[in-house]
Structure formats: structure tokens, C-alpha cells
Amino acid sequence: MAVSRAEQRASTRRALLAEGRQQFAAAGYHHVVLAEVARAAGVTKGAAYHHFDSKAGLFRAVVREVQQELGERVASAAEQHEDLWQQLRAGCRAFLSAGTDPAVRQILLLDAPTVLGWDEWRAMDEEASARHLAEALTALASAGVIADQPVEPLTRLLSGAMNEAALWIAQGGDAEAAEQALDRLLAGLRPTT
């Protein structure tokens, strides 16, 4: 059975994304050459440019893929709990543990903010995971589990703190200590009676 052009294009794109991801995670954006990614993926340099226009285009697609997977990992961890508070804790912990993943560390935490620029990186982060954090915090505030407060600044503070902690863990920081610090930070959100 012959492979259709659409299937061939999709296969080429998947191969480039997989190889690009592997090389960006291992070497960092600045040490990757698009022609070498294409060769390793078994396609021509022209095919790589056709699908992604540039190394930056491939990197942007890889960042989206990694962010999407991270968002799904966090959501999956949260969904294992019925209690809203436990959902928040599990999702935050899953995010922190992702710092040990080489793709998350190198691609999302180190390279993406500088390669894509802060505004684009933040917009992609918002789309992939920060909005879920905002939704969780809104639900917790509505249920009275955390003190009623503006959710947007709280989301930004927690997101930034967790990005920094995940990077710290990725660079050899103590994951258990980070989780304990996170628990103390989150406990401070609960209303005092």
C-alpha cells in the first residue's frame, strides 16, 4: 500500500520534531544545526526548511510540544485527586519534578525564554499551563479553601516560583526540600481562622 503525501509529510514532520527535541535537549539551541537535524532524521535540509522555515521555527514547534506534554503531565497528576487542595499540590509537585526531565530543563527553562523572547515564552506558558493554575486557584478561592484574593497576581507569583524551583532542581537542587518549601508556601494561602 502506497503512503499518501499527507502521511509522508506528517511522518517527516514527526521525525524532525523528534530529532530536534533530542538535539535541543542534549546540546542546547545554540549548538544545534538544522541541516544536522534533517540528516539525523533521514530527510533533506530542504524538507526541514519546508516544514519549519528555520531552526527557530523548529525550536518553537518543539517548545510547544514539550509545554503541551508538561501541561498534560501536571493535569494528569492533579486529576488523580478529588480534593481541590490535593489537586493543586499534586499538580505543583508534578511541575517541580519535571525539572529533572532534560527536555524541560534545557528547552523550556533555559533556552525558550532567551531564544523566543520573554513575551512569546510567557504567552506559550500561559496557553499550556499557567491558565490551568489560574483555574485551580479560582476554584480553590470560590470553594473557600484559600483566602479570597486576586488570582492573576497569585498565579504569576506561583508560576514564577515554580519555574525557578524546577530549574534549581534541574541543576542539582534538592527536590524533596523544594517540595517541602512548596507545601509551606501553599499552606500560607489558606485562610487563617
Domain residue spans of the chain: 1-53, 55-188
Q: Which helix (H) or strand (E) holds 40?
A: helix 34-41
- What's the rounded Cα separation, in Å, for the pair 183 and 175? 12
Considering only CA atoms, which of 66, 35, 31, 40 is closest in space to residue 52?
A: 35
Q: What is the pTM of this model?
A: 0.88
Distance CA 146, CA 87 (A): 13
Predicted confidence at residue 117, as pLDDT, reads: 93
Residues 1-53: name the CATH superfamily. Homeodomain-like (1.10.10.60)
pLDDT in the model for residue 49: 94
Is it the case that residue 127 has pLDDT exceeding 90? no
Mean of pLDDT values over 5-25: 94
Residue 193 has pLDDT above 70, yes or no: no
What is the pLDDT at residue 20?
97
Question: Sorting pLDDT into bands at 50, 70 and 90, what band is 15?
Answer: very high
What average pLDDT does range 7-26 have in this prediction?
95
Most confident of 3-7, 59-63, 103-107: 59-63
- In this predicted structure, the answer to whether residue 169 has a pLDDT above a threshold of 90 is no
Mean pLDDT throughout 87-100? 91
Q: What is the CATH number of domain 55-188?
A: 1.10.357.10
Torsion of CA 41, 56, 171, 87, to 10 degrees: -90
State yes or no: pLDDT of 1 exceeds 70.
no
What is the per-residue pLDDT for 171? Answer: 84
